[in-house]
Amino acid sequence: MGDLIRTSLRIFTAVIIMAFSVNVYGQADMSQVVEAFNSGVAIMKINPDGAIVSFEKVIILANEVGAEADEIKGQASKQIPKMYWESAKILAGKKDYEGALVKLDACIETSGKVGDKEQASKASST
């Protein structure tokens, strides 16, 4: 009888631990959002495409965190059109005009989403 109680108690404990593990590890926290943002900022000038990936990750993580991360989410969102612009300039410099046009289109689209008329105008006039 004692073994049955111990086994049941172990199973119950394991289930509780797994339930809390999913809750704790299934959601992003603010430190992950900040880390992704800082990664994007660190590589903005040398790797705009990598920065785009980092800033998009910020948005995904910030959505998981909630209102606490709204400010940094907004900052990341505003950087994405600028990074598409920088990427387009790099591609144009390498004479990859088709690739540059794709990046300019993305710049215009993302500028519209964040309300950056100046960046959209700059990309449209190029």
For residue 95, what are its two tokens? 């004479």
- The answer to whether 77 and 113 have CB atoms below 8 angstroms apart is yes
Residue 22 has pLDDT above 90, yes or no: no
CA 70 – CA 60 distance, rounded (Å): 11
Instruction: Convert the pLDDT of each residue in 53-96 to its tens digit.
Output: 999 999 999 999 999 999 999 999 999 999 999 999 999 999 99
Mean pLDDT of all residues in 20-44: 83
Instruction: Convert the pLDDT of each residue in 113-125 to its tens digit.
Output: 999 999 999 999 8
* pLDDT in the model for residue 23: 45
Domain boundaries, the chain: 2-124
Residue 41 has pLDDT above 50, yes or no: yes
For residue 38, what are its two tokens? 């800082």
CA 114 – CA 86 distance, rounded (Å): 17
CA 62 – CA 27 distance, rounded (Å): 10
